Structure 1
Amino acid sequence: MHGRLKVRTTEEQQLIKRKEQQKKLLAYRLGMKQILESRQPDTYDPNSLAICSQLLIVNPDIYTLWNYRKEVVLLEISADNSNDSSSEALVNLLENELKLTEQCLLANPKSYGSWHHRYWILENHPDRNWQNEFDLCSKYLTMDDRNFHCWDYRRLILNKIGVTLGDELKFSTNRININFSNYSSWHYRSTLQALTDDCVQDELSLVKSALFTDPMDSSAWFYLRWLLSNSVVKHEHMKEFLANINQLLELEPDCKWILVAKCWLLKLLGLDEINYKTEEMESYLKLQEIDPMRKGQYVDCLKVLQLY
């Protein structure tokens, strides 16, 4: 009918999509061909460098292109070494590289190549601003606090600026309180400080709060396991936490993670108190019922227990 938009069929849409993909693939191949053909050990082609930028913005995970850009930067640094101070041309090139990584990270915030290249550029920048990088990390983690690439990058930046342990622990606690289901935040916390007698109770309290809030989420349980692997956690702490686990088990009797954690604690406590063995065996029997996919694992655990 006149005046109505024609609705394309699925087959037509797929055909259009394939043509667009072929067009993009052709452009990618032509761009890569020009870059590789112009790649020289002692010079570079500005036009190829511009094409390289366009390709990376579309797909920032092409390591060959990041390495090509590093070669270009090293050529400029080598040419600049004859001057007493860094030239404006070199600084502009490095600043453009930083802008490029920002564009790439907007397209893919979890691009290994983009984060690595950004850090490498800053390491070679005569006027680097580590505080700006630290603020950038906070911004990205506010948008997505599960971006472990950004957490790793933040840890590198910590060594460059004077952030106190207390401030960073506060930031970590804040991110965890906003979202308990965050493996990256918990892992980052485990790298910040060595567990001591002074802080162990605070860490146990934090993880307890997370577990009682959402016992079905596995992230805090893994942090608990890390805590229990530390010799600073005494049997008194374990007994107290076991009582909390049993409380939680009354509220959520079919939660796999509670029973698994109970087995961790009973195994550690059972080294001194043999009466914990029966409770541990009962827990594994219950786990076979509520988690049949891992029944073989629990059967093996029971066999090991019966040997002692």
Structure 2
Amino acid sequence: MTSHGVPRGSGIQPTTDQDRRKEQQKIRDYKGLVESVNSRVSLLCDVILSRLTPTSIREHQYNVETLELTSKLLKSNPEYFTIWNHRRLIMQHFFEQDSNQTSRTTGDQNQKAVVDMIDDDLAFLLPLLRKFPKCYWIWNYRLWLLEESMHFLSAAEARKLWQQELALAGKVLSLDSRNFHGWGYRRTVVQALDGAVLEGEDSSTSMTEQEFIYTTKMINTNLSNFSAWHTRSKLIPRLLNERRADNEARKNFLDEELELIQRALWAGSDDQSLWFYHQYLMSTFDPRYARDSIAPDLTADERVKYVAQEFDRVQEMLDGAEDCKWIYQSLIQLSILYKSLITNCPVKASSVQTWIDELLRLDPLRAGRWNDLKSSLDN
């Protein structure tokens, strides 16, 4: 089984009696491991019925042996999210122990102990990420470890760990550039590095420009990278604000983005992600959304001029791509926007109806949607 052409971890079905016996033994071993881990951790929930004190139970159950059992179990099944929660409790216990032992004379030593624990646990996760790159729980747990570093370590030590993660996110995306887990993780890491908690001497400059350049690189590598386009759209407002872009600079930036997406659309007009980004840019010309757009202070005449230009460009794409539903959808959306901006819109109602009929032909599963659109335009 693959996703974006990248294989996902999957078991091989047994074919012989010997294979089946081995598989059955694996299942028995797995069930025994699950029972052992759950019984060790759940003992704390029964503290009222036990003669042991809560502290002694934690020390007895939240130990290296239990941690190793969770490691063994998670290697077999990283989708078992309850075990990740058990592991959190164990690691939290370790962190708190070292934190409580910290003093003026041993503070640096205990900081190193926490750093080593987090480093070891992050290293444990790497083979799992390689084998199961789409597993939510691995990513969530990894992020939890980094967030814990901000509670138990100095800003400088924690920042080192987060900077290492940015490099890891880059490696993950080099293996699968459309891994949306990796993109979401990267955005979170960048946000943390740009935040006040991890602020350091080398962090006075925002990473927005750097990340914007990174999206350009990834888009040029693969135009179908929806996550790269999405991240780009999230970066643009902050980028323009940090540049303190005036109206002219914003219009120039908009023109560059329009040229970029047009080149991409000509190369791959069937790509949904490109049309989504194009639609994002078109929201700049809609007065309802203009305030939060790339160029909020365009005049009414400028909006009309931009929409007319985009309408002509998209209509030109129809030549040789008559079976591309995305072109018809864009033409309809642009026509509706065009008519909202100018009284005497040159786009004929009959043309819009023809495009809707084409959508009914090309996309019959959404016939109800297109018929509703046709009825709303008739009214």
TM-score under structure 2 normalisation?
Answer: 0.73
Look up the match of 2:25: 23
Identity across aligned pairs (percent)?
29
Map of 1:34 onto structure 2: 36
Question: Which amino acid is 1:243 matched to?
Answer: D
Where does residue 3 of structure 1 map in the other structure? none
Deviations 1:100-143 (A, max 9, x none): 12121111112211112112112222233222111111111111
In 1, the alpha carbon distance for the partners of 2:330 and 2:16 equals: 50
- The alpha carbon displacement at 1:198 in A equals 4.3
Given that 2:14 and 2:23 are in contact with CA atoms closer than 8 Å, whether structure 1 keeps it comes out as no
In the alignment, the residues of structure 2 paired with residue 70 and residue 229 of structure 1 have an alpha-carbon distance, to the nearest angstrom, of 43
Which amino acid letter does the alignment assign opposite residue 185 of structure 1?
A: A
Q: Tell whether the 8 Å contact from 1:38 to 1:45 is kept in structure 2 after alignment.
A: no
* Equivalent position of 1:6 in the other structure: none
What are the Cα deviations for residues 282-308 of structure 1, in whole angstroms up to 9, with x where unaligned? 21122223333333322221111110x
Is this contact kept in 2: 1:66–1:113, CA < 8 A?
A: yes
Count of residues in correspondence between the two structures = 297
Residue 69 (structure 1) aligns with: 87
- Paired with 1:187 and 1:65, the residues of 2 have a C-alpha distance of 33
Q: How does 1:281-292 map to 2 (within 5 A)?
A: 281-292=353-364
Equivalent of residue 119 in structure 2, options 84, 92, 95: 95
User: Do the aligned partners of 2:275 and 2:326 also contact (CA within 8 Å) in 1?
Assistant: yes
Which stretches in structure 2 are left out of the alignment for 5+ residues? 1-12, 45-53, 195-202, 241-249, 285-289, 296-302
Q: 2:134 aligns with which of 90, 105, 110?
A: 110
Which residue pairs with 2:370 in the alignment?
A: 298
Please tell me the residue identity of whatever aligns with 1:51. Answer: L
Match of 2:227 in 1: 184
Query: Shift in Å at residue 16 of structure 1?
Result: 5.0
The corresponding residue for 2:148 is 124
Task: Give CA deviations for 1:229-274 in whole Å, capped at 9, x if unaligned.
Answer: 3424733222111111111111312211111111111111121244
Of residues 305, 327, 338 in structure 2, which corresponds to 1:258? 327
CA distance in 1 between partners of 2:186 and 2:373 (Å): 40
Contact 1:256/1:287, CA 8 A, preserved across alignment: yes
What stretches of structure 1 of length at least 5 have no aligned partner? 1-10
- CA–CA distance in 2 between the matches of 1:57 and 1:114? 11
Distance (Å, rounded) in 2 between the aligned partners of 1:206 and 1:270: 26
In the alignment, which of 124, 136, 154 is matched to residue 186 of structure 2?
154
What one-letter code is carried by the residue in structure 1 that aligns with 2:128? C
* TM-score (normalised: structure 1): 0.88
Question: Which stretch of the first structure deviates more once superposed, 180-189 or 126-135?
Answer: 126-135
Classify the secondary structure of the residue corresponding to 1:81: helix
Aligned residue for 1:243?
312
Whole-Å separation in 1 of the counterparts to 2:207 and 2:96: 37
- Runs of 4+ with >6 A deviation: none
